């Protein structure tokens, strides 16, 4: 700057704050929540176990050891290191089934989240943009779905389609789709009234580009939070269906199905019920902690002081 002394320039440079990188700012806010960091670490380990289940698991999940039926875990009397977490009522290694079960349960959760996320964006944006009859029809349909208790609706859908893994994903997706539709619709309606959207319309931006390139990016923060929390909800819903015999069918090692298979041994061999229950509990809590951290980091109003 003309006429500026070297000393003044040096002082001015010292007070210039460099712009924070988006990821660095996000991580700084996210890492303040120690529970969220813990949840991220735990869920990362579970994801790695699921991905490399074929290499990590000591046995095939359906391999039977008839000489070791209902063998206790290593810490119990009679347990051996051959079966660290014991075996089930058919002589299958519990550790191997839990590791492969992580793959199935996470696949269900992520599949439900992905399908609900994409469909929710499409339907929610259509309702917000077109309004009128389209908005009324979509909103009332979502209200109708939400009026039925989630588990009851999922049971009804699976009863009609038949119990298997694919139909479980379809049923749980139908249950949680309204959450995404209503969230996208509300966020998009709030953005459509802002000046930058009006300017884009005046500039001749088409409807599809306007909604996907202009409006949608400003609605993603609450959607990402809902998607993270939706994975844990989907895992719980699928486990409930599996426990009722309407989810993934044996011999698939889904955690809810493992609970259903072991309920007759709850008194004589309690670890057969406890271990899949703990797997569900730890996974759901970790995802919820991660979702809380994402909420604090992505929503400025929720950031911790």
Query: What does the block give as tokens for 269?
Result: 């061999």
**Confidence at 133, pLDDT banded by 50, 70, 90:** very high
Flag whether pLDDT at 305 surpasses 50. Answer: no
The pTM (predicted TM-score) of the whole model is 0.82
Work out the mean pLDDT of the chain and round it to a whole number. Answer: 85
Of the chain, the percentage scoring pLDDT greater than 70 comes to 90
pLDDT of residue 155: 92
Instruction: Read off the pLDDT of residues 215-228 as tens digits, 9 standing for 90 and up.
Output: 888 888 888 888 88
pLDDT of residue 17: 45
Flag whether pLDDT at 22 surpasses 50. Answer: yes
Structural domain spans, the chain: 31-302
**Confidence at 300, pLDDT banded by 50, 70, 90:** low
**Confidence at 6, pLDDT banded by 50, 70, 90:** low
Flag whether pLDDT at 302 surpasses 60. Answer: no
Q: How far is CA 40 from CA 33, 82, 288, 291, 294, in A?
A: 11, 31, 10, 9, 10
Flag whether pLDDT at 45 surpasses 70. Answer: yes
pLDDT of residue 5: 53
pLDDT of residue 11: 42
**Mean pLDDT within 114-123:** 93
Flag whether pLDDT at 206 surpasses 90. Answer: no
Closest CA to 183 of 115, 119, 233: 119
**Mean pLDDT within 111-135:** 91
**Mean pLDDT within 18-29:** 68
pLDDT of residue 301: 54
Those residues whose C-beta lies under 8 Å from the C-beta of residue 65, and which sit 6 or more positions away, are 71, 83, 87, 91, 92, 93
Q: Which fold has domain 31-302?
A: MetI-like fold (1.10.3720)
């Amino acid at each position: 700057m003309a006429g500026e002394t070297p000393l003044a320039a040096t002082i001015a440079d010292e007070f210039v704050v460099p712009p924070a990188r988006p990821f660095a700012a996000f991580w700084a806010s996210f890492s303040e929540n120690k529970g969220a960091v813990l949840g991220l670490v735990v869920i990362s380990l579970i994801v790695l176990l699921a991905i490399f289940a074929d290499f990590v698991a000591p046995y095939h999940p359906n391999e039977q050891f008839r000489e070791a039926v209902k063998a206790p875990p290593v810490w119990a009397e009679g347990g051996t290191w051959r079966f660290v977490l014991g075996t089930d009522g058919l002589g299958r290694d519990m550790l191997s089934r839990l590791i492969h079960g992580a793959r199935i349960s996470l696949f269900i959760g992520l599949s439900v989240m992905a399908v609900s996320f994409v469909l929710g964006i499409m339907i929610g944006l259509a309702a917000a943009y077109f309004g009128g009859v389209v908005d009324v029809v979509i909103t009332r349909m979502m209200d109708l779905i939400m009026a039925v208790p989630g588990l009851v609706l999922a049971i009804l859908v699976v009863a009609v389609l038949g119990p298997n893994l694919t139909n479980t994903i379809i049923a749980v997706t139908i249950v949680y789709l309204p959450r995404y539709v209503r969230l996208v619709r509300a966020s998009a309606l709030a953005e459509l009234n802002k000046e930058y959207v009006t300017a884009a319309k005046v500039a001749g931006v088409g409807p599809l580009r306007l909604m996907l390139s202009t409006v949608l990016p400003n609605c993603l923060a609450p959607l990402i939070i809902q998607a993270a929390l939706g994975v844990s909800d989907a895992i719980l819903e699928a486990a409930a269906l599996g426990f009722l015999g309407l989810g993934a069918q044996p011999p698939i090692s889904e955690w809810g199905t493992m609970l259903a298979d072991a309920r007759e041994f709850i008194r004589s061999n309690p670890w057969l019920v406890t271990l899949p229950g703990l797997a569900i509990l730890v996974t759901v809590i970790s995802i919820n902690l991660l979702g809380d951290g994402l909420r604090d980091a992505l929503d400025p109003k929720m950031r911790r002081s």
